[in-house]
Amino acid sequence: MNLKVTLLPGDGIGPEVTEAAVKVMQHTADKYDIQLELREELFGGCAYDKHGTPLTEQTLAACRESNAVFLGAVGGNQWDGLPQHLKPEAGLLKLRRELGLYANVRPARVFSSFVQSSSLKNEVVRDVDFVVMRELTGGIYFGAPRGVEADKGWNTMSYERHEVERIARKAFELARDRRGRVTSVDKANVLEVSQFWRNIVREVSRDYPSVALSHMYVDNAAMQIVRDPKQFDVILTSNLFGDILSDIAGMITGSLGMLPSASIGHSHALFEPVHGSAPDIAGKNIANPIAAISSVGMMFEHLFQMSKAAQVIERAIDNTLQQGYRTADIARPGDRVLSTTEMTSHILEQCEDLYNTEAIRVFTL
Ligand code: NAD
């Protein structure tokens, strides 16, 4: 079996965390006899510096030709003054649109070794395990008309039937393989577009009788994630609401350096850590590689339904943290503070140990 991955290390700490991710990718591929074909392309600020655009045709073509794209991070102060369409972040929006990545998946779960570090009480966060499924290519970020004048600014939140249907299906399919609950989050008491969203989600739910659907207003959802996050299994929501709720969900469970994500379309998928390019710590070999490594787990799970490979990676991270190894961003007094490369080596050792135990059997695809 072949797996073609286009690597977009990007800017700042992007290349450092991508290097960590690649080591775990290669290790996992070797275990399952997968031939990994890696191709690296410029993307973001570094692509602008060389080619005058954050996303070149060559990079886009490479992404289209691969089974998966892995992105480190893009951006930095030196590109902040560029016109909007040439900024590294504009390249990312364009890439998501061009690849049709309409579903953004952000898991919110707490490593047992990390319960103490949450900003919420231990009993509230222990065993939290839910996913925010955010619509990524529609809604108010893309709607027309939009504009700004001296005395007025405006945007449009609109959704078409097919946009709601496809993201709802993704959420129900995911919930079917999990604990069978979808909470659709909207603002249907005020917004017509949310009433439409709710109707379509209800229609789609009829095709998934084993999944229980409930609806929640977004303001209440924000409170409930902080009050009792264990009630959720899959949260299904639109682009704007998902942007905010996924950050709230991420923060109750860990630090920015530990949150993975997947963006999925009909024929393409992109995996990336949630964090940005962290220019303040770039080039120092101190970035936390866990978000990037965890995104590799999501990649194997999504592409090959290899939940076992993903579990090995997650357990390897948890074991490493339990042994008191931390990068500087998450270190507590008494922890052993490791560099990016040292942390990656420890996680790899733990992966190897897990594959060698009886409990985790390696299987070939
Ligand atoms: P950021 O996520 O880069 O950094 C915020 C803070 O978290 C910084 O103090 C940073 O040092 C720390 N941090 C982030 N990731 C870390 C890691 N893996 N290990 C240890 N510490 C980590 O957010 P920002 O400072 O607002 O943005 C910096 C640049 O990144 C901007 O240009 C922004 O536009 C861009 N950005 C890119 C993406 C992306 O590529 N997907 C996402 C968010 C921000």
pLDDT recorded at residue 360 = 54
Determine the pLDDT at residue 251. Answer: 86
Residue with tokens 């410029």: 42
Indicate which residues carry an active-site annotation: 141, 187, 219, 243, 247
Q: Do domains 1-102+265-365 and 107-254 have the same CATH topology?
A: yes
* DSSP at 256: G
For tokens 């009480």, the residue is 121
Cα-to-centroid distance, 277 and ligand 1 (Å): 5
Rounded Cα distance between 296 and 286, Å, is 20
Q: Is 15 exposed, middle or buried (0-12, 13-18, 19+ CB in 10 A)?
A: buried
How close is the Cα of 238 to the center of ligand 1, in Å?
23
What is the rounded CA–CA span in Å between residue 354 and residue 27? Answer: 12
Q: Domain-by-domain residue ranges, the chain?
A: 1-102+265-365, 107-254
Q: What is the pLDDT of residue 270?
A: 98
Helices then strands, each counted (H, E), the chain: 12, 14
Contacts of 162 (CB under 8 A, 6+ apart): none
CATH architecture classification, 107-254 = 3-Layer(aba) Sandwich (3.40)
Kindly give the number of the ligand 1 atom that is closest to the alpha carbon of 80.
32
Closest among 136, 87, 143 to 269, alpha carbons compared: 136
Beta bridge partners of 152: 149
Binding residues for Mg(2+): 219, 243, 247
Phi-psi region of 2 (alpha: psi -120 to 50; beta: other; left: phi over 0): beta
DSSP 275: S
* 1-102+265-365 carries CATH number 3.40.718.10: yes
With a 6 Å cutoff on the Cβ, whether 72 touches ligand 1 is no
Residue 107 beta carbon below 6 angstroms from any ligand 1 atom:
no
Q: How far is the CA of 280 from the centre of ligand 1 (A)?
A: 9
Binding site membership of 250 for ligand 1 (Cβ less than 6 Å): no
Cα(18) to centroid of ligand 1, in Å? 14
Q: Which atom of ligand 1 is nearest to the CA of 76?
A: 32
The whole-number pLDDT of residue 335 equals 87
pLDDT below 50 — which residues of the chain? Answer: 362-365
Which of 106, 134, 256, 294 to probe ligand 1 with, by most ligand atoms within 8 A of CB?
256
Q: Which of 71, 275, 329 to mutate to test the pocket of ligand 1 (most atoms within 8 A of CB)?
A: 275
